[in-house]
Chains A and B, each alone.
Chain A
Amino acid sequence: MTAQACYLGTDVGGTFTDLVFYTASGELHCFKVPSTPARPGASILEGIDEIKTALGVDDAAWREMVHTHSSTVATNALIERKGAKIGMIVSSGFRDLFELQRLAIPHPMRFDSRRPLPLIPRALVREVGGRIAADGNELDPLPEADVIDAAQELVALGAEIAIVVLLHSYRNPAHERAVRDIIERHGVPLRLELSSEVWAQAREYERGVLTAVNASIRPIVEGYVERLDRGLGERAIRTPARVARSNGGAELAATMRQRPVVALLSGPAAGVAGAAAAAADAGWEMADLMTLDVGGTSADIGVIRGGRPVLSSEEHIADFPLLIPTIAVSSIGAGGGSILWLDPTGSLKVGPRSVGADPGPACYGTSGSRIPALTDAFLVAGLLAPGQRLGGKLPLQMQPAREALETLAGPLAMPVETVADGAIRVANALMAGEASNVLARRGVDAPRFRMVAFGGAGPLVAALLAEEIGIDAILIPPFPGGLSALGAARADLEGDLVEPVYERLGALDQPGLARVTANLQARAAAWIAEQTAALTVTGTRVELAADMRYDGQGYDVTVPLDETWLKSGDFARLRAAFHAAHRAAYGHANETAEIWLKELRAHIIGATPKPRIIPLRSEAGTASEATRTVRLFGREFSAGVHERAALGIDQRIAGPAIVNQMDTTTWIPEGWTAQVVPSGALVLERT
């Protein structure tokens, strides 16, 4: 291969690590290697070696390769609660910040529902006096003795790290910083994380959780980054590693490790970012899209508006809130492994429990299991075929699948085929229900959106789901299995900063607002300078916005703002922008009400070079070679079966039809057509 710029993206999942590689000429290659959960990062190095060998990449290009990594390493560490012993120092009177959380329990109608176990147990929480008020003024001074006592007690209990979460530190971090100074001055061996430095935003519980998550995943993420750096060095790759962030962008691994919480959901976020890129490649620019990623145990749903993934500050992971801007991805409990069962009245149910990877659906035939799962229903209904391999696993077997469904067919007094059909329709209604829920949460009216479907089972169920929620067009990217890796590779450098204001507009003046704005811009400039010291960018920009609300209102609206309004103190424009944004979001505005400005936000973008990806195969289409009988909605369809690799650009397929490829199967129902567009994506449309 000749010396030209090349790009690598990786996504470390629980079972497999996906890698994509392309050069400036846009030729894309996908690889898949087993993950190495015990040594996070090692699978990436193994994959890299495989790529080097397979493609014979030129050494000079190899040294300068731009490489970006997304992973679930941090997420898994958090869920498994593996990490250092962490203490917490809080304001006097709030030792139970993590015990009480936000009071409510996850399922208030269930007697057995409980709040998640606190990230830091009460025994490792200490209070210190001193108090900052909501306006940032000091109410009570911080007693030095409190700090020393707290730190020494925590050390005596075995804590190596402590987080400091003092009230209103987002507004005035003086006390949190003083805690650190005092502990350093007295030489207490306790590493500290200040909530005001992790993310300076109001809401003490949410900010505290973010800080605790950051502290608890840091050791694991550091190990991962170090292993990666060392391995890359050994392979003479000189470009510094980039990691995908939860905001869909990327940053240097070297800076991310200081605040790993920004990368917590990088895998799913990169998938949505990849979907946005695939849609743009296919000519769906500035589109409003829902993304659907269906795997074995769950389906992830994201939202893209105007071509950009929607960020939210109200995401959760393992029942813990994430205050930091994150690509909004919601998991719903329906996947190929979802168990089919009957409730005591004989209603057919799907999930939420899953057979998991072991034993897997009965049709895997790996064990004697006859627990019916949704994949078994897909096989019996004819959407999948015996002998087909899913995600590199064993060939599917019809007999165990039928036997598993027999366990339901008997009590229901229905043929196995009817049960399979019914299970798929119930699963579809369930997914439609949960998808509507998460879309509504984002303010999305589904019928006005289009869909991007990926993951192993996404393209299989996409059209069924789309019909149920009123979506008429679906895009299946060329490589539905490697979308997170591709999203990571193509990510821009993106950072988020927040600067507290917390005033009514009427109480602000021009010099004050200009000062806050200048401060935010200086921080943004410093961030981009650090990021681009060793990486090429084609341009940078900073998008300013503010979280604003009407006085007395219970929520904020994030309003994009012009820098000049802020600097010149053009309050009329600021008010008008908020009223307009509120009207756009909620249909009404209150022009006479006072407005609060809570915080200013900066979203920083350092654009990276993006070669156009070209599809690998564009030979002329071949006709359908076979048909298969598919039973759905109580009817039998004779569906054409096509190989994706054999489909030519612009070739049109009318449903009912099935398109197979290595990493997924696409179902095109009656009343839909599919067409391969020049980017290599398959576009399904309802006719």
Chain B
Amino acid sequence: MANDIAAKTAARDAIGVEIFANLFKAVVDEMAWVVLRSSHTTFVKETQDFGVALVTPEGEMFAYPYGSGATPLMGVAMDSVTQGIAWEEGDVVVTNDPYATRGMVMHLNDIYVFRPVFVDGKLLCLAWTFIHCTDVGGYAPGSIDMQNSEVFQEGLRLRPVKLYRRGELNEEVWNIFADNCRIPSLNWGDMTACVAALAKAETRLRRLAERYGRDDVAQAMYATLDRTEALTRAVLAEIPQGSYTFTEYFEDDYISDVPVRIVVKLTSRGDGTIELDYTGSDPQVRAALNLPTGGMNHHPFLAMSVVNYVVTKSEAIHINAGILRCIDLVLPEASVVNASFPAACGMRFTTAMRAHDLLLGALTRAMPGQVPVAGSGVLVVTYISTSELGGAGRVVVANPVSGGSGASGERDGISGTEMSVAFLRNVPVEVLEAEAPVVVRRFGLAPDSEGPGRFRGGFGVAYELEIKHPSAVVVMRGKDRQRFCAWGAAGGGAGTTSGNIGTRPGARLSSTGPHDIGKRTVYRAELGEVIRLWGGGGGGFGDPFERDPELVAADVAAGLVSPERARDVYGVAITAGALDTTATAALRRRPRNVGRDFDFGPARSEWERVHGLAAERIAAWLPSLPVAVRRYAQATVYRQLHEAGPGPYRADAVAAALAAVGAALGQPEAALQQAAQ
């Protein structure tokens, strides 16, 4: 029977591809459940920060689960490991090193685990899992501190190494790792879950090969990728041909006030492929924001919202790396989107989030309303660490605190989560308080935080945590958007900013009030101190005066929009708690300035008014400098400009500053001349 089926199931035809794609998906779904069922840490169990896939020997993911685990890693190229190891049956290779894997791994907390699948003594494909390890050593509990400047501070690094060789555990490898992290036994629990999932994949694929024949299964891996690529092209061909540019920022780089600028030129070639040219994006920074993408031609972290656009628009697409084949990248060297060794990269996901919204901006320029506008742009992952207590202590994830997502031309944004992190779940208060010495005082939406619009952004959230142990350290990583905020489009408004404050027990009694915690990652709170973190609202889309008044009234009734805001921002009158249609009509007739463009919020608008021209000139000049001095040179130019006056900075002033800084760095005259133009 088996051979009959094999003979008749042509792997590459309209029926065969569909059959195999479903059978491959069965394998990855099963792997995902094995990880989820048997992993140990809350980060994997509750927040679902793990992944599984099947990978061709050339390093392309051909099967990825749709419904479980972390979605953003889908499609990352794995040839650095799949092609770089002398595989033997029963091997298990682990690595967490971004620089040895050319940007496959992107921070040390992600442990990637591989196992080769051999059929009849020949390598068929590889099975892969990753888990986010809560702690891999390093300076900060949880290993990630925004202010880390080198990867050495971020924990133990393992280049691809055989944890199992031909089925035998190499305990020495594990012991090195275990001795250099804060929660070795929990990490081992997660690792065994990964190893079990990989073994399951091998069993299942061998069965498939037995039933359908090894060669057909092998062909089907590539056919599945090709089909997805073809389907992706059909979707991307709908993006009007042309180039669309957009700019996004981190408002600072944690060590200076100079924003980190990321720019993209999205070119729709009209054949169903697009190019994302990140030229002009800022040099890598001395903070944990760098994204080590190894200069790859395709990378999911710099294409996330385009991938999600394809998935949204294509019913029943089989999700695999075939999508990424249609999205080409151009990446400047040693930049924040293509960092070089040994740049710190612990919080590189913040950069991916920024790239997510950056691409949404470019897509909004290409086809307004077809994609969401910017979300809050933050994800502050909050931990409570009592690791100082030694054996009794631990590191517990409290909550991922994000904000609202952006609206589109079709629907409102989501409250309390971002599109780019919408796979993350919160930790129940009743679970957290049993495990960590804290009391959660609030986890709720922030009224009036949404970017207004015909479709409004999602509301931001506030999270309040009271500290109940003198040895508890609060780790809050990924902060940004405390000045800049989510942008709106087509007349829709910007969202609100994010932030964090602490209120000490004494401050509640006296009148000193709360104090700003700023951007510190590791914070030692006082016993009884209440920390409040909040994430801003998402951007709006379309003119708020065109929003259905009933929807505005519903938000007022829900306590999410104040009657004053309804009146002033939406032109909707609420009288005695109900919609007043007559007064609303009158309000909406008032003459006003209707913006139809992007609203970037006050802080970004002001920065660009003053520094817009300078930023362009500096970006054009930096590539003429050695990699190592670029960020320094950039900061120095801004400092000189600031010392000269408040701006806006004109071309001559910028040229003079470039010349002075260039000369101080020993730059040749010719390059200076060129920059001055």
Contact = CB atoms under 8 A, between A and B. Distances in A.
Interface of A: 92-96, 99-100, 102-105, 107-115, 121-123, 131, 133-134, 139, 167-168, 170, 202-206, 342-349, 352, 412, 422, 425-426, 428-430, 432-437, 439-441, 443, 447, 467-468, 470, 502, 550-555, 585-588, 590, 593, 633-635, 669-671
A108 B464 CA distance: 26
Interface string B349-388: 0000000000000000000000110000000000000000
A169 to B, nearest CB: 9
Nearest to A586: B38
Given A100-B461, A671-B1, A587 B196 contact: yes
Contacts of B515: none
Given A95-B444, A204-B430, A432-B26, A104 B234 contact: no
A166 B119 CA distance: 56
B33 A441 contact: yes
Given A110-B308, A440-B33, A134 B430 contact: yes
A550 B38 CA distance: 12
A481 to B, nearest CB: 28
A170 B557 CA distance: 31
B47 to A, nearest CB: 9
A342 B230 CA distance: 14
A586 B20 CA distance: 29
Q: Which of A105, A432, A550, A552 has the most CB of B within 10 A?
A: A552
Interface residues of B, number: 100
Interface in B311-344: 311-312, 314-317, 319
Given A345-B231, A443-B37, A131 B439 contact: yes
Interface string B441-478: 11111000000000000000100100000000000000
A134 B433 contact: yes
Contacts of B461: 96, 100
A205 B430 CA distance: 10
B22 A635 contact: no
B430 A554 contact: no
Contacts of B66: 107, 109
Contacts of B231: 343-345
Interface string B12-33: 0011011110110111011011
Q: Which of A107, A345, A468 has the most CB of B within 10 A?
A: A345
Contacts of A412: 14
B185 interface: yes
Interface in B377-422: 394, 396, 400, 402, 408, 410-411, 414-417, 419, 422
Contact of B19 (A103, A113, A429): A429
Interface in B44-85: 44-46, 48, 66-67, 71, 74
B22 A348 contact: no
B630 interface: no
Given A552-B186, A593-B185, A347 B422 contact: no
Contacts of B554: 123
Given A122-B559, A347-B14, A552-B40, A96 B189 contact: no
A110 B311 contact: yes
A442 to B, nearest CB: 9
A554 B45 contact: yes
Contact of A93 (B14, B227, B443): B443
A202 B410 contact: no
30 contacts: A93-B440, A105-B414, A108-B419, A111-B312, A112-B410, A114-B411, A114-B414, A122-B559, A131-B439, A139-B439, A205-B428, A343-B315, A343-B317, A344-B230, A347-B14, A348-B14, A349-B18, A349-B316, A352-B316, A425-B19, A436-B29, A437-B30, A441-B33, A470-B207, A502-B434, A552-B40, A553-B40, A553-B189, A554-B39, A554-B41
Nearest to B195: A587
B423 A100 contact: no
Contacts of B435: 552
Given A432-B22, A552-B186, A105 B430 contact: no
Contacts of A633: 4-5, 8-9
A103 B30 contact: no
Nearest to A106: B67
